[in-house]
């Protein structure tokens, strides 16, 4: 019995000691110190964006302790807290809100363990308080920074610093919807670990630098909504891991590059609203993973039948409107069983509309307006009922639908009903009436009455009689 008591007391003592040690360990973890230099650099950086009135006094014991603020995260290095994530702007309800008069302070580049830095909706469009991205000291963050983002900052002006090319560990560079101008720096090709490159919605000009031969880990490439010019760089073909390519809404020109054939993993390609020419390159056939292909509003030209569309079996969205296509719509499009959207409007397409397009199981939008299609639309009433207003075929003067086959609520907008065929039996009987003995007798009767005398005796009774007989004959016919 005594031994049992002794064991029980030992177990209780061990439990108390373990709980005491656990509490002390948790306390030590929660109040792990932040070095003074790190804390001062962080506070000065934050004050540069939100104002000097912010002092972090409500944070205990520091921004990495028990009461952290949204947008700041820390990691432990050698027993000390270091800032690893700094997000400036109203991302969360209790995030740091930017002041009107804000600045990049040099202390930002003293946060030597910073992995992620972002600025969202912080620099507003006010000439007095517009700001530029610092051009120097980014090399201080080269060993740690993996993600750098500037989103929705219309008051952030100036150029993209070429020193971004020194951030050798950068995996994500997002410069989206700001007020930046100038050209894309060529040394961006040094960022060989990049997986995401988004430089969209700015005012960038010049050519796309041909420097992407080393970025074989890149997944997202988006330079859309700028004022870029020139041709597509040939080194795009080196981006063999690429999933998304978007250079839409620029002033790019030239032919579509043959290097597209190397992008075997690409699922989205958007080249709309540019000035590309030279027709549909055969390299598109090799992009077998494509799910979305958007080429609209380019003066490409060429015959739509030049490609074997059945090879692009994963296509879900195909937008080829207003690119100057000619020829008949190929039946091979009906083999794209994943196709949901097909846009062929405002081209020079001719010929009849193949009813096989109706067999596409996923199709829910078909736009063919503004072409020279002819003949009768042979789709069923079920197809028109499913599509509704998502079927567009207006501005095809010689295209028609069969009246009575579909309900009035599903009649395709801007398409006329087909004209009814003339009854041949009725037509033949009228021909016999005109050419038969009755007509000959009538003309003989009119001639015997002196019909030719109407020209000289216009008001004679014989002339009036002949006119009445003629009218009666026309009514009978």
Reported as a single tens digit per residue, the pLDDT across 296-331 is 999 999 999 999 999 999 999 999 999 999 999 999
**Residue carrying structure tokens 């859309």:** 224
* Angstrom distances, CA of residue 180 to CA of 41, 158, 171, 176, 200: 27, 5, 21, 9, 10
At 440, list the tokens: 């000959």
Q: Which band of pLDDT confidence, cut at 50, 70 and 90, is reported for residue 68?
A: low
Parse the chain into domains and list their residue ranges.
Answer: 36-417, 427-476
**pLDDT greater than 70 at residue 360:** yes
Phi/psi at 211 (5° precision): -135, 25
- What pLDDT is attached to residue 67? 61
Axis crossing angle, helix 424-435 with helix 437-448, rounded to the nearest 10: 40
User: Using CA atoms, how far apart are residues 176 and 222, in angstroms rounded to an integer?
Assistant: 10
Total number of residues shown for the chain = 477
Rounded to whole angstroms, the Cα distance separating 238 from 263 reads: 8
Could you give the count of Cα atoms lying within 13 Å of 66 in the half-sphere of its Cβ? 8
CA dist 164 and 436 (Å) reads: 95
Distance CA 151, CA 281 (A): 35
- Residue 246: band (very low, low, confident or very high) from pLDDT cuts 50, 70, 90: very high
User: Which tens digits make up the pLDDT trace of 326-354?
Assistant: 999 999 999 999 999 999 999 999 999 99
Say whether pLDDT at 204 is over 60.
Answer: yes
Read off the pLDDT of residues 417-457 as tens digits, 9 standing for 90 and up.
998 765 544 444 444 433 444 334 333 333 333 333 333 33
User: Is the Cβ–Cβ distance between 375 and 398 less than 8 Å?
Assistant: yes
Lowest mean pLDDT among 74-83, 108-117, 190-199, 448-457: 448-457
Q: Tell me if 368 sits within 8 A of 345, measured CB to CB.
A: yes
Q: Are 34 and 56 within 8 A, CB to CB? A: no
pLDDT at 462 over 60: no
Give pLDDT, residue 71: 83
Q: What does the DSSP 8-state code read for residue 284?
A: G
Average pLDDT, the chain: 84
The structure tokens listed for 111 are 């946060």
Residue with tokens 């050209």: 183
Q: Token pair of 151, please?
A: 């989103």
**Rounded mean pLDDT, 367-375:** 97
Q: Residue 156 pLDDT more than 60?
A: yes
DSSP 3-state percent helix, strand, coil across the chain (nearest 5)? 30, 20, 45
Residues 6+ apart with CB under 8 A from 17: none
From CA 200, how far away is CA 34, in angstroms rounded?
A: 38
Q: Which of 10-19, 86-95, 131-140, 162-171 has the lowest mean pLDDT?
A: 10-19
- Of 84-88, 241-245, 265-269, which gets the smallest average pLDDT? 84-88
CA geometry: angle 473, 474, 477, nearest 5 deg: 90
pLDDT for the residue 46 = 92
| Dist CA 83 CA 45 (whole Å) | 12
End-to-end C-alpha distance for the chain, whole angstroms = 132
In this model, does residue 106 exceed pLDDT 80? Answer: yes
Q: Which residues pair with 327 in a beta bridge?
A: 349
Ramachandran region of residue 346, left (φ > 0), alpha (ψ -120 to 50) or beta?
A: left
Spacing of C-alpha 3 from chain mean position: 78
Q: Which two tokens stand for residue 219?
A: 């997944």
- Give me the phi and psi of 2, to 5 degrees please: -65, -40
CB 49 within 8 A of CB 99: yes
Confidence of residue 223 (pLDDT cuts 50, 70, 90): very high
d(C-alpha 336, C-alpha 340), whole Å: 9
Strand-strand pairing, 348-351 and 372-377: parallel
For residues 408 and 8, the model is more confident at 408
- % of the chain at pLDDT higher than 90: 68
144 φ/ψ angles, rounded to the nearest 5 degrees: -120, -35
The answer for residues whose C-beta is within 8 angstroms of residue 235's C-beta and 6 or more apart is: 210, 211, 212, 213, 259
What does the pLDDT read at residue 342? 98
Give phi and psi for 335, each to the nearest 5: -90, 0
Query: 36-417: which CATH architecture?
Result: Alpha-Beta Horseshoe (3.80)
What does the pLDDT read at residue 126? 65
What pLDDT sits at residue 113? 97
Which among 402, 344, 352, 346 is positioned nearest to 373, based on CA atoms?
A: 352
Please give the C-alpha separations between residue 42 and each of 78, 80, 94, 143, in angstroms, as whole numbers: 19, 14, 18, 18
Residues of the chain with pLDDT > 70, as a percent, come to 80
Q: What pLDDT shows up at residue 20?
A: 43
Please give the Cα distance from 411 to 420 (Å, whole number): 17
Per residue in 248-270, pLDDT (tens digit) is 999 999 999 999 999 999 999 99
* Pick from 161-165, 330-334, 359-363, 469-473: least confident: 469-473
């Amino acid at each position: 019995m005594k031994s049992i008591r002794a064991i029980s007391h030992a177990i209780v003592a061990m439990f108390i000691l373990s709980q005491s040690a656990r509490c002390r360990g948790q306390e030590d973890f929660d109040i792990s110190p932040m070095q003074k230099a790190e804390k001062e650099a962080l506070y000065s950086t934050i004050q540069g964006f939100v104002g000097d009135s912010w002092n972090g006094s409500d944070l205990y014991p520091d921004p990495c302790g028990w009461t952290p603020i949204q947008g700041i995260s820390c990691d432990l290095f050698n027993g000390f807290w270091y800032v690893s994530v700094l997000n400036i702007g109203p991302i969360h309800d209790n995030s740091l809100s930017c002041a009107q008069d804000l600045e990049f302070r040099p202390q930002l580049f003293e946060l030597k363990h910073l992995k992620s830095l972002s600025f969202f909706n912080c620099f507003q469009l006010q000439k007095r308080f517009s700001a530029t991205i610092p051009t120097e000291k980014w090399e201080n963050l080269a060993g740690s920074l993996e993600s750098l983002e500037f989103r929705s900052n219309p008051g952030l002006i100036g150029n993209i610093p070429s020193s971004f090319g020194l951030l050798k560990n950068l995996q994500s560079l997002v410069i989206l919807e700001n007020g930046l101008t100038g050209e894309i720096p060529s040394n961006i090709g040094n960022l060989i670990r990049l997986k995401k490159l988004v430089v969209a919605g700015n005012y960038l000009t010049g050519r796309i630098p041909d420097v992407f031969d080393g970025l074989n880990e890149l997944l997202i490439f988006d330079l859309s909504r700028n004022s870029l010019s020139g041709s597509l760089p040939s080194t795009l073909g080196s981006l063999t891991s690429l999933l998304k390519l978007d250079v839409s809404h620029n002033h790019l020109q030239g032919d579509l590059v043959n290097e597209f054939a190397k992008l075997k993993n690409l699922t989205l390609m958007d080249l709309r609203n540019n000035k590309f020419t030279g027709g549909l390159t055969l390299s598109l056939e090799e992009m077998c993973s494509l799910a979305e292909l958007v080429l609209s509003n380019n003066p490409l030209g060429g015959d739509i039948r030049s490609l074997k569309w059945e090879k692009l079996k994963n296509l879900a969205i195909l937008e080829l409107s207003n690119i100057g296509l000619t020829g008949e719509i190929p039946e091979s499009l009906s083999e794209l069983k994943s196709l949901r959207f097909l846009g062929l409007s405002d081209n020079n397409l001719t010929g009849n509309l193949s009813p096989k397009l109706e067999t596409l199981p996923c199709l829910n939008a078909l736009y063919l307006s503004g072409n020279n299609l002819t003949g009768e639309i042979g789709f069923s009433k079920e197809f028109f009922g499913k599509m509704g207003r998502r079927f567009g075929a207006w501005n095809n003067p010689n295209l028609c639908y069969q009246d009575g086959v579909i309900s009035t609520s599903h009649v395709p907008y801007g398409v006329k009903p087909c004209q009814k065929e003339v009854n041949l039996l009725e037509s033949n009987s009228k021909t016999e009436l005109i050419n038969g003995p009755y007509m000959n007798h009538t003309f003989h009767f009119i001639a015997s009455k002196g019909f030719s005398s109407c020209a000289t005796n216009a008001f004679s009774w014989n002339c009036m009689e002949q006119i009445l007989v003629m009218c009666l004959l026309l009514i009978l016919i």
